[in-house]
Structure 1
Amino acid sequence: MEEKIHRAKKRIWNDICSLKYCIILLAVYAVATQLAFGTVCPMVIFCGLPCPGCGLTRAVCSILLGDLKSAVEYNLTAFLWLPFLLLLLWERYLTAKKIFSRQGVMIFVALVTVVYYLYRMKMFFPGEPPLVYQPENIMAWILQVNT
């Protein structure tokens, strides 16, 4: 068991080291866009509309804190994404074996997320956050400049 933990730590460290520039770039992007636009979501920044993943981070945090009602309100598909991500982590760092078809599961979860997004946009947009329009966006600025 100790050997498995040691190998998992080594894999995690190797992944962090190999992705260090991506991690730094993402951190800079997150700080810059949060300061400039008040969000890190590229879709909200560009067109002001929520994306299919809107509310996923808050939903996953709510699940982890045991607040399932809030998780459902933020984004119901978090109940699909969280187990998928946990299986990926388990597969990558603990077993080092392929347990399931990543591509098939990811396509399924992504399709469910998009269908759920379309449903939410039709039924609840605009409404409570995260399903709100952000008027301070790049498209609005471009349209305003050109008129």
Structure 2
Amino acid sequence: MKQYKKAVILTGMILGTMQILFQTVCPMRILFGIPCPGCGLTHAGWYVITFQWKKAWQWNPTIFLWIFCMGSWCFFRYVKAQQSKFFSVILVITCGATFLRYGWKYKEEITRGFLWMLWYVKKANNLFIL
């Protein structure tokens, strides 16, 4: 544990500074102004662990797919001790569902963030025109 002490302290300092400066520790929200596709999964996971299914669903319904995905990975990895195409299919479905949910829930923020990025790129290009 001693070897990780500096890394833990440095990580805490960086996260604390990000929270103070930007009011969030999410790099995607800081850089692009929009949440990441996994937004809410940590809260949802906590609510699953504490058996609050409805709150978990409200935060991010894909948590149940991720739990199934992780469970199937553990089963094939440690019980069957083999690789499985079934897990790959479940992983693709879970990632796809996560991105679909993301696009549906944050469509306004994604559009606003995309337009902001276009404006920024255009402005940056104008700076380099001679």
Instruction: State the alpha-carbon separation in 1 of the partners of residues 54 and 36 from structure 2.
Output: 21
For residue 118 of structure 1, the aligned residue among 103, 117, 120 is: 103
Closer, same or farther: CA 91–32 of 1 in aligned 2, 3 Å: farther
**1:80-119, aligned counterparts within 5 Å?**
80-119=65-104
Counterpart pick for 2:61 among 76, 95, 98:
76
Spell out structure 1 runs of 4+ moving beyond 6 A. Answer: none
TM-score by length of 2: 0.63
Instruction: Give the CA RMSD over aligned residues.
Output: 3.4
- Larger helix share, 1 or 2: 2
Aligned partners of 1:107, 1:30: CA distance in 2, in Å? 31
Q: TM-score, normalised by structure 1?
A: 0.57
Q: CA deviation at 1:80?
A: 0.6
Decide which of 43, 49, 52 is 2:34's aligned counterpart: 49
AA in 2 matched with 1:93? Y
Matched letter for residue 120 of structure 1: K
Within the alignment, does 1:36 sit opposite 2:17 as a pair?
yes
Greater Rg over alpha carbons, structure: 2
Q: Deviations over 1:71-105 (max 9, x none)?
A: 01110111111110122123223331234433322
2:127 — aligned with what?
A: none
C-alpha spacing 1:104/1:29, structure 2 compared with 1 (3 Å):
farther
Q: Residue 56 of structure 1 contacts residue 75 of structure 1 at CA under 8 Å; is this kept in 2?
A: yes
In the TM superposition, residue 48 of structure 1 has moved relative to its aligned partner by 2.8
